[in-house]
């Protein structure tokens, strides 16, 4: 099958460039007290929504390959759908199906993990995000593996928990820890010893991504592997103490080590096995590399590198084969837009700052870290600041725009895509004020970019990958912010179930050649076909339908 695009018969495409602007984490929601998108001063976005064709896109649940419509969308699956033009079954769904069918436990990776522990009478360690957020992991997957480990005769298990507070309630850690301790107590007997051994907040230790802050991974290594850090008798004690002393939410909790009589209960030693049970790739790659790298590892001093059998839940990078061993095969995402554009000879630019650079490259390309064409594709990463996002909510949006405008005006690129992380990364902090500021900073960039698009005779598709900034407070069934007994709103740090906009910004003659479809339901996967239509090409048959109808 030829993976090149065929020209449209009746429309040669816009004369200038086609630009996709991803306003990460910016959803469509009612104008409530917690909607930072609505309450921010955003004259450019307001004018776009009022004066240009806008389609509401579904960005969560089954529309992006997740198991149910109760599942929030996320940047990984959102960019997969935007870039692929199709919906593929995603991590959570794949893992659940593999567990239910028994395929996971029959896999070569599980057998190696289990047999290594049984042969060495050693310890099986589980490390990962500890919640049911279903964005990076699910606690039910962990429980299923613990039950299987006991069934197979493994005698000693240690669990290293990364507390969430981001894809679930910001202070919900004890809602997971306490029932899980009961679950472990029900499993333990004279032949099976399972305990929580260490932990910390996901934005403090272990789960860095895109090499933005290797110090996070180093803190995690010292905590989980070496057993270094402040000691507590239990995870619940650690969470309670840190909340009292520091007043931070779960994702920012410092590391802790569970110990008895001053001795950590679960360091990682030679002969052990380790499973990193996150299924999402971006925040899994660095810790996987740290476990598997040889003596040439130079990101930090690991001090001691135990000889272990390591596995990830999935293969997190299909090109670099990270990790080398994994329990469930990831979705094979094929026939992506980037592949078709490269084969058709269309020059492309992808740009963002570090925090979302992998989303407009790796995830957009179907979990492929390389390029389809070195000659035709240019990727630009603007280094992110390593500071709390609420302290600098504008992030690198101005610098991204500076470079993007230069690239637009260069005339080198027919298609460009850019991600502005502000609405998502700042939205995750739970700070309404900072998120408003992030939206206003983003709006200023729209005001800079769009006149350049006009001057070049181009078109912009302005969309998002999921909601976040649109709902900064926990809401009730009517969508209104929840209040505590004192009348205070409870911050929400997770993504939302709200749709996202797709604004077709076109002031050219080209708009007379097409119409925007009405009365249909669209998702993120419909954007790819729309893009190639605007470039003057037919969409491949396997892609989901275009949002526009070419006359």
Task: Catalogue the active-site residues.
Answer: 75
Distance CA 3, CA 100 (A): 36
Q: Output the CA–CA distances (angstroms, integers) from residue 26 to 303, 388, 432, 523, in the order listed.
A: 42, 20, 14, 15
Distance CA 80, CA 87 (A): 8
Q: Residue 322: helix, strand or coil by DSSP?
A: strand
Q: Residue 350: helix, strand or coil by DSSP?
A: strand
Which of 448, 449, 427 has its CA nearest to residue 436?
Answer: 427
CB atoms within 10 A of CB 385: 15
Distance CA 474, CA 491 (A): 6
Tokens encoding 392: 């600098």
Q: Output the CA–CA distances (angstroms, integers) from residue 273 to 148, 299, 352, 551, in the order listed.
A: 15, 23, 37, 60
- Would you give the distance in Å from CA 548 to the centre of its chain? 29
Q: Output the CA–CA distances (angstroms, integers) from residue 445 to 44, 45, 396, 400, 452, in the order listed.
A: 9, 10, 11, 9, 11
CB atoms within 10 A of CB 91: 28
Assign 3-state DSSP to the chain and report helix, strand, coil percentages, each to 5. 35, 20, 45
CB atoms within 10 A of CB 187: 15
SS3 of 128-156: the string is EECCCCCCCCCHHHHHHHHHHHHHCCCCE
């Amino acid at each position: 099958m030829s993976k090149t695009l065929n020209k449209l018969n009746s429309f040669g495409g816009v004369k200038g460039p086609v630009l996709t602007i991803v306003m990460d984490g910016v959803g469509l929601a009612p104008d409530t007290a917690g909607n930072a998108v609505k309450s921010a001063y955003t004259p450019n976005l307001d004018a776009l929504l009022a004066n240009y064709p806008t389609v509401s896109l579904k960005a969560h649940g089954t529309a992006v390959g997740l198991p149910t419509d109760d599942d929030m969308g996320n940047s990984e699956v959102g960019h997969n759908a935007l870039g692929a033009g199709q919906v593929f079954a995603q991590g959570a769904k794949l893992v659940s199906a593999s567990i239910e069918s028994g395929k996971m436990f029959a896999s070569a990776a599980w057998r190696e993990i289990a047999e290594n522990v049984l042969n060495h009478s050693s310890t099986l360690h589980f490390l990962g995000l500890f919640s049911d957020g279903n964005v990076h992991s699910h606690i039910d997957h962990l429980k299923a593996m613990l039950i299987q480990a006991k069934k197979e005769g493994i005698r000693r298990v240690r669990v290293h928990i990364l507390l969430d507070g981001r894809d679930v309630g910001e202070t919900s850690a004890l809602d997971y820890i306490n029932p899980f301790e009961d679950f472990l107590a029900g499993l333990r007997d004279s032949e099976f010893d399972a305990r929580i051994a260490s932990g910390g907040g996901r934005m403090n230790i272990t789960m860095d991504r895109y090499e933005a802050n290797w110090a996070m991974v180093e803190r995690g290594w010292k905590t989980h592997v070496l057993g270094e850090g402040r000691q507590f008798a239990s995870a619940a004690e650690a969470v309670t103490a840190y909340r009292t002393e520091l007043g931070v939410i779960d994702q920012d909790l410092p590391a802790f080590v569970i110990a008895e009589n001053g001795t950590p209960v679960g360091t990682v030693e030679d002969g052990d096995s380790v499973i990193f049970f996150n299924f999402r790739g971006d925040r899994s790659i660095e810790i996987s590399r740290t476990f598997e790298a040889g003596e040439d590892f130079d990101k930090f001093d690991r001090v001691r590198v135990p000889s272990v059998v390591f596995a990830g839940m999935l293969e997190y990078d299909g090109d670099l084969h990270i990790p080398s061993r994994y329990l469930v095969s990831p979705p094979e995402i094929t026939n992506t837009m980037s592949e078709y554009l490269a084969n058709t000879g269309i020059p492309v630019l992808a740009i963002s700052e570090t925090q979302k650079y992998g989303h407009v490259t790796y995830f957009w390309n179907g979990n492929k870290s390389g390029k389809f064409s070195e000659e035709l594709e240019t990727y630009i990463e603007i280094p992110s600041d390593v500071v709390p996002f609420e302290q600098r909510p504008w992030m690198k949006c101005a610098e991204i725009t500076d470079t993007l405008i230069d690239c637009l005006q260069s005339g080198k690129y027919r298609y460009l895509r850019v991600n502005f992380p502000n609405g998502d990364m700042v939205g995750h902090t739970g700070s309404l004020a900072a998120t408003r500021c992030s939206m206003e900073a983003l709006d200023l960039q729209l005001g800079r970019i769009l006149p350049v698009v006009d001057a070049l005779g181009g078109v912009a598709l302005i969309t998002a990958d999921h909601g976040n900034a649109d709902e900064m407070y926990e809401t009730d069934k009517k969508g209104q912010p929840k209040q505590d007994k004192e009348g205070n709103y409870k911050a929400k740090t997770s993504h939302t179930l709200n749709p996202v906009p797709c604004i077709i910004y076109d002031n050219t003659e080209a708009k007379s050649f097409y119409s925007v479809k009405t009365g249909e339901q669209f998702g993120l996967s419909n954007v790819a076909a729309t893009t190639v239509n605007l470039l003057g090409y037919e969409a491949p048959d396997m892609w989901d339908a275009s949002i526009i109808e070419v006359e």
